[in-house]
């Protein structure tokens, strides 16, 4: 696989010629981010980092990831409806992780109040890598499932055209025609529009909850523009705006700046630093409302690493999908080895295996957003520190997935043209809408490929490590 574009990578002059064409194509297509220097202004923007050429992905594994996405949608939805499972699973993590405890406190409040929300919208992204075994075969293994603020559905809708154009300029028209069409922003907006419609008020709006720093605004705008094209009004607000100017009426309708909110779509709220006390108050107000939250607090909790680890235990999936044995088999096939660090014999054994061979594992805290995982000797350092304390329960241990590196050229703003050994991560976007007990919509709506140089253990596109890519199926 690594020899796919060797004729290009071995020709320095050709690389110098084609790289500016690729960058201009990305700018033309709107593959854009704001700059670090002016993160809240679109006066100066630059291209989002991307690969010069698409990366090879085994066709069978891509199809497998596609085929299991609707199963994961169904699983996430069912888990979100089971407070007992969530409480039991997250009980140990809550005791040592203030953020998980705070989320669960909001959740308990909502349960005590009684749910006002009757329409539920899930927009998730299940992320995988291709594990290369010693016999040379590869297997699809899930890294995580993102149930809140799953990003790059917008920009990944624009990248296929960039790689098609680059390949054509290289005289590779046949290869250009094999680039998959991909439009997650259309599918995501369709799900939001369906939830808005079921909410039942033509005057109500979709509210994007956004960060204070908004470098990735164009990714949001792709989805917003699709909603505007359906004549659905979209507003953008921060959590503090909701606290300061949000009102919950006696019927639990949510109003912000006088607008009734039908759907609150979170593109923030997944990290502790996203909240101050006002932010937590705003989150509670929204959760108590009739507005369709994407995600509601229960669905956000489903996305925790501890839930992921618990699902890998024998017979757990069957409890939630007893009517779908084929789905259980498809989901289980994607699981890597996952191990509990809870206090007790099982957790002690996990510590032991991790300390003996840290390079075989990844230590994962209960955090979203990339750049949080711990590798190699650092695992030993962390576990030596927490092995005899309850703090270890804020982590899970996972088998380290070992993909086969391939060569590509990563294009970053103000960066040198550099060929690197790279690994890729494939994400599948899923959308579902449930009204009461009825699943109204359940779809896989597109994919995302991110690629990074092998010298980086962790980190995503927003962190400046990975870059946007397209799969070239082989």
Looking up tokens 């009102």, which residue turns up? 247
Assess if residue 1 is contained within a domain. Answer: no
Q: How many domains does the chain have?
A: 2
Confidence of residue 461 (pLDDT cuts 50, 70, 90): confident
The answer to whether residue 125 is catalytic is yes
The answer to whether residue 203 is catalytic is no
> Are residues 281 and 413 both part of a single domain?
yes
CATH of the domain at 365: 3.30.1490.50
pLDDT of the residue at 2: 47
The answer to whether residue 151 is catalytic is yes
**Burial class for 365, CB neighbours closer than 10 Å (0-12, 13-18, 19+):** middle
Question: Which candidate in 368, 400, 444, 460 is catalytic?
Answer: 368
Question: Which candidate in 450, 452, 460, 470 is catalytic?
Answer: 450
Assess if residue 447 is contained within a domain. Answer: yes
The answer to whether residue 438 is catalytic is no
Give 138-163 pLDDT, tens digit per residue.
Answer: 999 999 999 999 999 999 999 999 99
> Are residues 204 and 284 both part of a single domain?
yes
Q: Which is nearest to 50 in space by CA: 470, 472, 468? A: 468
Q: How far is CA 106 from the centre of its chain?
A: 22
The answer to whether residue 306 is catalytic is no
The answer to whether residue 305 is catalytic is yes
Question: Which candidate in 82, 91, 168, 369 is catalytic?
Answer: 369
pLDDT (mean) for 392-416? 94
d(C-alpha 336, C-alpha 449), whole Å = 20
The answer to whether residue 144 is catalytic is yes
pLDDT of the residue at 63: 98
Question: Is there a contact between 166 and 472 (Cβ–Cβ < 8 Å)?
Answer: no
The whole-chain average pLDDT of the chain stands at 95
**Position with higher pLDDT, 153 vs 135:** 153
> Are residues 244 and 349 both part of a single domain?
no
Task: Tell me how crowded residue 293 is: count the other CB atoms within 10 A of its CB.
Answer: 28
The answer to whether residue 444 is catalytic is no
DSSP assignments along 167-208, one per residue: HHHTT-HHHHTTSPP--HHHHHHHHHHHHHHHHT-TT-EEEE
| Structural domain boundaries, residue 372 | 337-400
User: Does residue 464 carry a pLDDT above 80?
Assistant: no
> Are residues 326 and 405 both part of a single domain?
yes
The answer to whether residue 185 is catalytic is no
pLDDT of the residue at 1: 43
pLDDT (mean) for 102-122? 97
């Amino acid at each position: 696989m690594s020899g796919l574009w060797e004729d290009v990578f071995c020709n320095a002059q050709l690389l110098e010629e084609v790289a500016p064409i690729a960058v201009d194509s990305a700018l033309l297509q709107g593959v854009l981010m704001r700059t670090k220097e002016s993160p809240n202004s679109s006066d100066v923007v630059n291209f989002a980092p991307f690969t010069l050429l698409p990366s090879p992905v085994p066709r069978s594994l891509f199809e497998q990831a596609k085929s299991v996405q609707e199963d994961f949608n169904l699983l996430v939805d069912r888990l979100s409806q089971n407070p007992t499972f969530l409480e039991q699973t997250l009980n140990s993590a809550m005791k040592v992780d203030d953020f998980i405890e705070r989320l669960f406190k909001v959740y308990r409040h909502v349960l005590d109040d009684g749910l006002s929300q009757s329409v539920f919208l899930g927009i998730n992204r299940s992320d995988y890598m291709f594990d290369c075994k010693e016999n040379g075969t590869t297997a699809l293994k899930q890294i995580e499932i993102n149930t809140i603020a799953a990003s790059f559905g917008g920009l990944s809708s624009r990248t296929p055209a960039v790689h098609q154009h680059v390949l054509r300029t290289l005289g590779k028209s046949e290869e250009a025609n094999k680039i998959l069409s991909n439009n997650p922003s259309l599918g995501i907006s369709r799900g939001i529009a369906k939830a808005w419609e079921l909410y039942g008020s033509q005057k109500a709006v979709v509210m994007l909850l956004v960060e204070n720093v908004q470098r990735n605004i164009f990714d949001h705008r792709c989805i917003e523009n699709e909603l505007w094209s359906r004549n659905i009004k979209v507003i953008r607000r921060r959590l503090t705006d909701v606290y300061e100017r949000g009102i919950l009426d006696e019927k639990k309708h949510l109003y912000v700046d006088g607008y009734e909110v039908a759907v609150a779509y979170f593109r923030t709220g997944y990290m502790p630093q996203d909240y101050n006390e006002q932010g937590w108050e705003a989150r509670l107000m929204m959760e108590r409302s009739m507005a369709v939250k994407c995600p509601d607090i229960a669905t956000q909790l489903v996305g925790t690493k501890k839930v992921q680890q618990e699902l890998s235990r024998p017979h757990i999936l069957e409890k939630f999908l007893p009517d779908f044995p084929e789905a259980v088999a498809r989901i289980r096939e994607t699981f890597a080895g996952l191990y509990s660090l809870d206090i007790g014999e099982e957790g002690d054994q996990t510590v032991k295996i991790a300390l003996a061979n840290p390079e075989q594992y990844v230590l994962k805290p209960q955090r979203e957003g990339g750049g949080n995982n711990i590798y190699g000797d650092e695992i030993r350092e962390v576990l030596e520190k927490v092995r005899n304390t309850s703090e270890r329960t804020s982590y899970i241990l996972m088998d380290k997935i070992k993909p086969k590196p391939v060569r590509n050229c990563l294009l970053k703003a103000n960066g040198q043209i550099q060929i690197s050994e790279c690994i890729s991560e494939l994400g599948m976007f899923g959308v579902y809408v449930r009204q009461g007990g009825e699943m109204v919509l359940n779809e896989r709506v597109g994919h995302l490929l991110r690629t990074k140089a092998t010298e980086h253990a962790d980190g995503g596109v927003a962190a400046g490590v990975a870059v946007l890519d397209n799969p070239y199926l082989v």
